[in-house]
Structure 1
Amino acid sequence: MKKTQLTLTLALALSMSASALAAVSADEAAQLGGDKLTEFGAEKAGNADGSIPAWKPDWKGPAMPENGGIYPDPFPDEKPLFTITGANVAQYGDKVSTGTRELLTRWPDYKLEVYKTHRVVDFPDWLKAATVKNATRTKSTFDGEDLEGAMGGYPFPIPKTGSEVVWNHNLRYYGPAYRSRFSGYMVDSAGNRIVTHDIDNYTDSPYHDNPDEEQSFYQRRFSTYVGPARSVGDKSLTYMVMHAKKDGNSKQWLYTQGQRRVRQVPEFGYDSPMTTAGGVYFFDELGMWEGQLDRYDFKLVGKKEVYIPYNNYKFLMHTSADDAYGKQFANPEKMRWELHRTWVVEATLKPGMRHAQSKKVFYVDEDSWSIVLYEGYDQAGKLMRTSQGLVTYDWNTKSVPNTPMVIYDLVKGQYATSMHMAGGTGYVRVPRWPNGKLTPDSMAGSGIR
């Protein structure tokens, strides 16, 4: 019995070791920055008919405030090339995702206004250099749940598995530390719009601030609620971890002004409902995906050309909430859709694991590595959620800030948004806060008394 157990243990160790060696070869990595691939892994060429253009580096939009803020719309005079509705969606085949097709067929007046495609995303030279190095030094461990050797850049510019694509989304570059003021809304099944949160948020990334050494955290957020009235003074502190197997899962602490104490959220992530958003989405649906990779098997389906929400400066930053959010869906006349290449990943719940969703499907933009479309399926395999990630690009810092989203609960007939910028401050770059300011004790000390 002991010999058998030892054999199994050694086999498992060898299996884990083998999976930890799954980096790309030097020959494959040599493609990065060459004729075919950018340093961060996107195809440089356009598509066959030119509807997706070739990528061009160092694109610059109009002048914006030095420290960021509300970004100007770089394409204010462009008009839609065509419109997709429930009546004509069939002619666009699988370029319309399942979740988007559901919205089009559910509501006759919902539509996609499709614009010229612009591939504006680029990254700083130091990040591209770090990404090229990561291609051969970063390894998946624990069946893709963790990674080792990743420093500063995208960990898997030439991904081989679905989990590697998701790690690229987790470690996407959203620039130096910034503060942002934004609001969230929930529209119920009767069409009533409710403010779920009004937040002054600080975000930084130790992973990108220290590109020459491995880090414990890839993102830290300190959020102070300035509305609605019932939440004023509440705070949250979130640490997103790089190595869950070694350091434990990501953590979140809450300071409740009414109770005047700090408590750690017992199970942060997975399918715990986001109560601050009216329960329309789960913790792991925030930002299109946020959480540990241990409950799902992530399959890399491949690449597809798909119509996705893109360059949504007008909707996100220049459209009031009254104009942006209708009784059933976000205003389609304010939202911009473009044709882009996306990586498609299917996440299937592992046997014995618990989650309200049996499957998740992600569409990940090849240029920004941001999840731009998402679908969540219930235990019966029925589509229950679909969401749209509103990607914008900061051409001053060559970064893609955190992804606001509009998410639809197709069962309850309601929807929510996480980060509406119009009326707020946008993304304002600030000096990085000292570590001592990003602790649970600091939350308590800065609370309203």
Structure 2
Amino acid sequence: MKFRISILVIALSGWFVLTQQAGAGVTPEEAASLKSTLMPLGGEKAGNEDGTIPAWTGGNTEVPVGFKSGARRPDPFADETPLFSITVNNMEQYADKLSDGVKAMLKKYPDSYRINVYPTHRTAAAPQWVYDNTYKNATRAQLGEGEAGPKVEGAYGGIPFPIPRSGAEVMWNSLLAWRGESWSWDGHNVLITPEGKAVVTAHGPAQLQMPYYFEDGEESFNGEHWMLRRINAGPALRAGEGILSRLNLDPSDDRSWVYLTGQRRVRRLPNACCDTPLPSAAGVLSIDEVSVYTGRMDRYNWNLVGKKEMFVPYNANRILQPTSNADVLGEHHLNPEHVRWELHRVWVVEATLAEGKRHLAPKSVYYIDEDSWVALLGDRWDASGQLWKTMWQMPFTMPEIPAVHTNLYGFYDLVSGAWFSIGIMNETTNQYSTVERYRDSFFSPDALAAEGVQ
């Protein structure tokens, strides 16, 4: 695989090799680039040489007139048309900018799958206090060795490693990408069988919170960076079931629970990580495939391959416009008419199974946006070396936060032909709402049980 490595990566390559496992942050002189050649979250400010990737000029912070939190999110680029489309017939022309999974989908579904490429817009943004904390983290954050793999130490309220020098640092940046403080959304989890039949495996509201990004919370922060609570409203078989998670900068302290209506009790998930099936995903999506990758990092060795220009889903507000879920759910993949792809620079990280560990997918490759640190694409190979799953995530521009954020993701199973998505919300009334900070007790087993029995 040939990579077009950016000037920044070339400059840093000499110490990538020397510091893949190093724990210390960068020097103050290196951190100063976050106020000059780099955007405040770490992406390169400059565009590319041929102008197909523009310079970053501050991102999208302009809230549409009349927009109300939770309502259908408008598409700021609705008037744009594709520059071109990539199909199986012309994919070799663009092969160096396509992931293995995308190329496999083009070949597997030549009559329906295509990539509509639109002009690139660098909309990633965050509040100034997040930029300030990211600058501080550059020199103070480090990776420590924990029982569950690399853990983050010394970081708060910003991207921990804006100038990364290891694959594990890039993946932690993705886990701690800026998404806001507290929010809720409502959506459907949908499994599409190999025959093209859509089956709703769960639907209902979710509430999420990132204490790591409490603007006033650094002194009281205890390491729990992510909290989620979701109670299924349906289908009837799953109504009332719930899941609760509290994730920690030291993954050995991660905790998750489920509420099962048949037992009328909350049960701690004994192994809420890695290739354990997600309870609300009909057993087809593993816990570490949430948002392309969410989980402990002790199962893999993480190799930072470099930075590359690639066609990726981006500014995906277009897919929120149809009022019917069926309009976006094709037989074998999302309806290409509603998926926006752009050319962006991404960090490429390869994960290979660590010695003495087991996983259903012993090899994976992840593509992480340089501007927002959102994981955009991922590919997984099975134990026989066959490309198995290709994962995707739809990043939306949300200027009211401001952020590039997402709660729509899924995968295509290249072996079975089935596919799965979480966060289909075209028929819901709460696509994404910023909310007042939840009480800590809201994300407790007792609160989960109380809501589940209602």
TM superposition score normalised by structure 1? 0.92
What is the aligned partner in structure 2 of residue 368 from structure 1? 372
1:147 corresponds in structure 2 to 152
Q: Given the superposition, is the C-alpha separation of residues 333 and 165 from structure 1 closer, same or farther in structure 2, using an over 3 Å criterion?
A: same
Residue 218 (structure 2) aligns with: 212
Amino acid at match of 2:65: A
- Against the structure 1 CA distance between its residues 363 and 218, is the aligned structure 2 distance closer, same or farther, given a 3 Å change threshold? same
2:289 alignment partner AA: E
Q: Give the superposition deviation at 1:279.
A: 2.5
- Tell me the matched-pair count: 429
Q: Is the 8 A contact 2:41 2:159 kept in 1?
A: yes
Match of 1:102 in 2: 104
| Residue in 2 that maps onto 1:5 | none
1:22-61 to structure 2, matched below 5 A, reads 22-34=24-36, 36-59=37-60, 60=62
Amino acid at match of 1:216: G
The letter of the residue matching 1:212 is E
Query: Which residue identity does 1:130 align to in structure 2?
Result: N
Structure 2 unaligned regions, length at least 5: 1-19
Q: Which residue number corresponds to residue 134 of structure 1?
A: 137
1:1-34, CA deviations, whole angstroms, 9 ceiling, x for partnerless residues?
xxxxxxxxxxxxxxxxx96642111110011021
Partners of 2:121 and 2:310 lie apart in 1 by: 14
Kindly indicate whether the alpha-carbon contact (under 8 Å) linking 2:140 and 2:154 is maintained by their aligned counterparts in 1.
Answer: yes
1:400, distance to aligned residue in structure 2 (A): 3.1
Taking the aligned partners of 1:123 and 1:430, their CA distance within structure 2 comes to 17
In structure 1, what residue type is equivalent to 2:72?
Answer: I
User: Cα gap change, 1:278/1:185 in structure 2, threshold over 3 Å: closer, same or farther?
Assistant: same
Partner SS, residue 45 of structure 1: coil
The Cα shift of 1:399 comes to 2.1
What's 2:301 paired with?
297
Letter in 2 for 1:29: A
Is 1:280 paired with 2:284? yes
1:250 maps to what in 2?
254
Distance in 2 (CA, whole Å) between partners of 1:95 and 1:125 is 33
Q: Alpha-carbon deviation of 1:446?
A: 2.8
Residues 274 and 319 of structure 1: CA distance in aligned 2, closer, same or farther (over 3 Å): same
Aligned CA RMSD, in angstroms, stands at: 1.8
Q: 2:339 aligns with which of 335, 341, 346?
A: 335
Change (3 A) 1:258 1:65: farther
User: Paired residue for 1:203?
Assistant: 208
The one-character-per-residue Cα deviations of 1:65-90 (angstroms, maximum 9, x if unpaired) are 34344211111111111010011100
Deviation at 1:252, TM superposition (A): 1.2
Please show how residues 16-415 of structure 1 align to structure 2 within 5 Å: 21-34=23-36, 36-59=37-60, 60=62, 62-63=64-65, 65-109=67-111, 110-142=113-145, 145-209=150-214, 210=216, 212-213=218-219, 214-244=221-251, 248-318=252-322, 320-415=324-419
Distance 1:193-1:21 versus aligned 2 partners, 3 A rule: closer
Identity within the alignment, %: 39
Matched AA of 1:153: G
CA distance in 1, matches of 2:384, 2:390: 16
Measure how far apart 1:368 and its partner are.
0.8
Aligned to 1:38, what secondary structure does the other structure show?
coil
Relative to structure 2, which stretch is displaced further, 419-428 or 335-344?
419-428
SS at match of 2:245: strand
TM-score (norm 2): 0.91
Q: CA deviation at 1:181?
A: 0.7
Deviates more, 1:326-335 or 1:363-372: 326-335
Between the aligned partners of 2:323 and 2:386, the Cα distance in structure 1 is: 33
Amino acid in structure 1 at the alignment position of 2:130: L
Matches of 1:307 and 1:47, distance apart in 2: 14
Residue 317 of structure 1 and its aligned partner are, at CA, apart by 4.8
Give 1:418 shift.
Answer: 0.8
Say if 1:249 and 1:292, in contact at 8 Å, map to a contact too: no
AA aligned to 1:182 is: G
> Shift in Å at residue 319 of structure 1?
5.1
**Which runs of no fewer than 5 residues in structure 1 stay unpaired?**
1-17
Superposed CA deviations along residues 139-166 of structure 1, whole A, max 9, x for unmatched, are: 1111861011001100000000000000
Aligned residues of 2:73 and 2:431 also touching (Cα < 8 A): yes
Q: CA deviation at 1:61?
A: 5.1
> What amino acid sits opposite 1:150 in the alignment?
A
Q: How many Å separate the matches in 2 of 1:167 and 1:99?
A: 23
Would the alpha carbon gap of residues 206 and 158 (structure 1) be closer, same or farther in structure 2, given more than 3 Å must change? same
SS in 2 for 1:230: coil
Q: Provide the rounded CA distance (Å) in 1 between the counterparts of 2:179 and 2:431.
A: 13
The question of whether the paired residues in 2 share the 8 Å contact of 1:316 and 1:390 is answered with: no
The residue number in structure 2 matching 1:11 is: none
Within 1, Cα distance between the matches of 2:103 and 2:323? 25
Match of 1:421 in 2: 425
Name the CA shift for 1:55/1:111 in 2 (closer, same or farther; >3 Å): same
